[in-house]
Amino acid sequence: MIKLRNCVRCESDRLEDANVERLREVSGHVFSTVLPARRCGNCGEEYFEGVDLVRFDLAVARALADAAVFDGPAVLFMRKALGLLAKDLAALLAVRAETVSRWENGKTPLVDRPVKAVLHQLVTERATGASTTESYLRSLVKPRRLAKRVKVATEATAGEDATRE
């Protein structure tokens, strides 16, 4: 929980714990949740933990992706919820940064089903704390060399990690 002693806005020391409804409006949909916060009893200013706001944004991004909402504002929101710059998302999706910009500005609709599937996977994994797809996409941008001889795990060797020799 936030450990503020005084309100940043009015400097009052009347901060109290509260559960506060937060809203996000994206692509004509309003998403809501209740988050723990500190509220100033004097001016009403509310303070949230950054991690709670990030989790909420990722949940919103996931709801959009699950519903296949990929219009400009939704793509922009998903990218920002992922914490990526347009050029970084473009590199992961193997498109130009200008293409991402056109999607986000609504100049070109995102119609490519594989790109939608990858964006959905990126959002879903980030919302659950995983990054397998993002790591793999990054490795495709800069592949590493595979050794001539590689030991891999099979069902018979379950529990042993694959190793490179």
pLDDT tens by residue, 8-54: 999 999 999 999 999 999 999 999 999 999 999 999 999 999 999 99
Q: Are 59 and 78 in contact (CB under 8 A)?
A: no
Q: Are 89 and 79 in contact (CB under 8 A)?
A: yes
pLDDT tens by residue, 73-106: 999 999 999 999 999 999 999 999 999 999 999 9
